[in-house]
């Protein structure tokens, strides 16, 4: 199914029964690769009615080539559009990486729509890591230059592992998103009104997010930061420790 958000077509699907949980994937992934292929549907199917969606620039949704359309505030409206299309007034949210930053924006700007959140792979960029957004965008536009930056080359390899990506759309989103990647700033002062439980999860080797997420958790009325040992930004998603923590949290 599709719904309109800022004139863009956003794909979504709802499955199962129970209290709804909207699941928001990370950058360079989409619903199938982030949640289905990693086993999350099997983990959560008996806990919630699951709402999957592809954020703009990804999967089956529209892929504009306009960087300004990929700010976290703009992308977060895709979530609200999906909930409105399904007549869901309130729900829980689970987001990873990009999806977690979108959750941070939503809890700070529309806390009335949510009753709990799991936000994984989130914290704050450093000056050096924020600058990677422009480097990654350049690599996506000119893959032949990837050898000049190993970190960006790794991201390029990750993107290429998923077929049918629009590389220009991902480049536009990378150059807009990375500099905005500061969880407290994304949430804004409205964070104090998010009076629902928020579980923040990071891999122990996911720097710089794991180093800065405690401050984000402490600013939340009911926030908690959990660190998964021996995992990084990519491996945390499918880890058993993450899945067990989320099942317990949702129970």
What are the tens digits of pLDDT across the range 229-240?
999 999 999 999
Please determine, looking at this structure, whether the domain spanning 2-124+182-250 carries the CATH number 3.90.1300.10: no
pLDDT at 7 over 80: yes
For the chain, domain boundaries: 2-124+182-250
Q: What is the pLDDT of residues 100-132, one digit of tens each?
A: 999 999 999 999 999 999 999 999 999 999 999
pTM of the model: 0.96
pLDDT of residue 37: 95
Mean pLDDT of 73-88: 98
pLDDT at 47 over 90: no
pLDDT of residue 144: 79
pLDDT of residue 152: 72
- Among 83-92, 134-143, 217-226, the range scoring the smallest mean pLDDT is 134-143
Tokens representing residue 216 in the block:
């984000």
Q: What is the pLDDT of residues 123-162, one digit of tens each?
A: 999 999 999 999 899 989 988 776 677 777 777 788 877 7
- Residues whose CB is less than 8 angstroms from the CB of residue 156 and which lie 6 or more positions away in sequence, other chains included: 136, 139, 140, 143, 146
């Amino acid at each position: 199914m599709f719904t309109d958000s800022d004139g863009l077509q956003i794909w979504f699907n709802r499955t199962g029964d129970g209290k709804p949980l909207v699941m928001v994937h990370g950058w360079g992934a989409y619903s199938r690769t982030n949640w289905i292929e990693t086993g999350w549907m099997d983990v959560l199917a008996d806990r919630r009615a699951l709402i999957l969606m592809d954020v703009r620039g990804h999967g089956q949704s529209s892929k504009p080539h306009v960087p300004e359309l990929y700010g976290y505030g703009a992308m977060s409206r895709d979530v609200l559009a999906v909930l409105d299309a399904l007549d869901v007034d309130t729900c829980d949210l689970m987001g990873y990486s990009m999806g977690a930053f979108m959750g941070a924006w939503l809890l700070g700007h529309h806390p009335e729509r949510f009753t709990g959140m799991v936000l994984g792979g989130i914290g704050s960029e450093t000056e050096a890591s924020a600058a990677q957004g422009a480097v990654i965008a350049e690599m996506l536009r000119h893959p032949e230059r990837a050898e000049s930056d190993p970190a960006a080359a790794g991201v390029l390899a990750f993107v290429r592992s998923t077929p049918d990506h629009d590389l220009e759309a991902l480049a536009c989103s990378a150059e807009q998103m990375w500099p905005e990647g500061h969880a407290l700033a994304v949430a804004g002062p409205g964070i104090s009104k998010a009076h629902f439980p928020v579980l923040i999860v990071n891999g122990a080797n996911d720097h710089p997010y794991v180093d800065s997420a405690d401050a984000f958790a402490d600013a939340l009325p009911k926030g908690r930061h959990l660190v998964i040992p021996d995992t990084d930004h990519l491996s945390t998603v499918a880890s058993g420790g993450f899945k067990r923590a989320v099942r317990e949290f949702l129970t």
